Amino acid sequence: MQLAIGSYTATSAAGIGLAEMSESISARRTGLRRNDLEACDLDTWIGRVEGVESVMLPGNLEHLQSRNNQLAWLGLQQDNLLEHVDDLKLRIGVDRIGVVIGTSTSSIGRTEEAYTQLLPTEELPEEYRQPQVHTLHSPGIFVAAAAGLTGPSMTISTACSSSAKVFASAARWIRHGLVDAVLVGGVDSLCNSILYGFNSLELISANQCRPFDRRRDGINIGEACGFAIVAKEGVLPDAHLSLAGYGESADAYHMAHPHPEGRGAVIAIDRALKRAGLTADSIDYVNLHGTATPANDRIESRVLAQRFKQRTLASSSKAWTGHALGAAGILESVIALEAVKNGVVPGTLNCEETDPEVEFQVITDNVEADVRYAVSNSFGFGGNNAALIFGRLDG
């Protein structure tokens, strides 16, 4: 069943909203900056969204105060997304629209902050007693409340594939008649737990990340959010883009290392192609997970070589935004949707000396192309992989 993609938006270090992101991609201007996160002394680069700290939540949402929810609120206000949600509510009702949000960190930054403010009694100060914030479901709770939706709400956390898997859950909800449309999205914000955690895994680079470059040596953590409206055909009469297929897998090969042959990733791609009724030759562009770690890029290139011919364009966009973890899936899905809509495929920024050992060569310059179908790849810890296929609604 082909599903319509309506209004969508993304906010990241590459830009707040679609226009700023497109301009950064066109100008090949990274959003990465030297680490300036408060109380974090790691020598690295980060993808920080400017001005998140000053975002004011509406009065009815103040009890959900956190950096993560501030970022979500900033993102929800871009590209007329909430206006489109309001129009949809009038047509099909608030209870026929679901919410599925992906995250990895949720509002853990607020919890970190809370523990630094413990009272002598070891109790939390009143302002930090937020049971709906100190929970993994915080983004789902917040987005549903901010959008005024009363349909089913869920938060998915499968590490870096979290907000790719939201599309699959939305498709299942719609297919089974639970709802007629779903507001999907993802949000992850910078916090010390994540930066120091990934540093303990020796995955953080002191340089700007260089996906698929011979000298790549690790990731830069970023923060981002993105949202899209997914609906069954006929619900969004003005929609021109579609979720043509999706595939998921959980190979459980290793907690933090992908399967050496990319077994789970191949399964996810094959399932997406089967659901879409397409062959690999139909895919014009693949937005890669492309984290810039030596293992990820090498294995992902092996996955592509098993399924695609070199005519298929492929690139990583993480050198613009940093690795947005639980928000990476939605952010890169939006980039893939924009490629289908506008025909501009971003090259792999910072890839100056392509690694000769990778088995599928990525593009390094932006390319104008007729993109009928685009894949967005997402890999997560524990082998939680997802592949999404986006296309034009008319095929």
The residues that are catalytic are 160, 289, 323
d(CA 285, CA 180): 29
**Sign of the Cα pseudo-torsion (64, 67, 71, 74, in order):** positive
Nearest to 364 by CA among 323, 314, 294: 314
- Which amino acid appears at position 244 of this protein? A
Identify the H or E element spanning 23.
helix 18-27
Q: Determine whether 78 is exposed, middle or buried from the number of CB atoms within 10 Å of its CB (0-12, 13-18, 19+).
A: buried
d(CA 1, CA 167): 13
Bridge partners of 185, per DSSP, are 101, 227
Tokens read off for 261: 């042959």
H helices present in 286-358, as ranges? 294-307, 318-321, 328-342
Q: Are 388 and 330 in contact (CB under 8 A)?
A: no
Q: Are 221 and 36 in contact (CB under 8 A)?
A: no
d(CA 205, CA 108): 23
Nearest to 222 by CA among 32, 16, 27: 32
Q: Are 278 and 244 in contact (CB under 8 A)?
A: yes
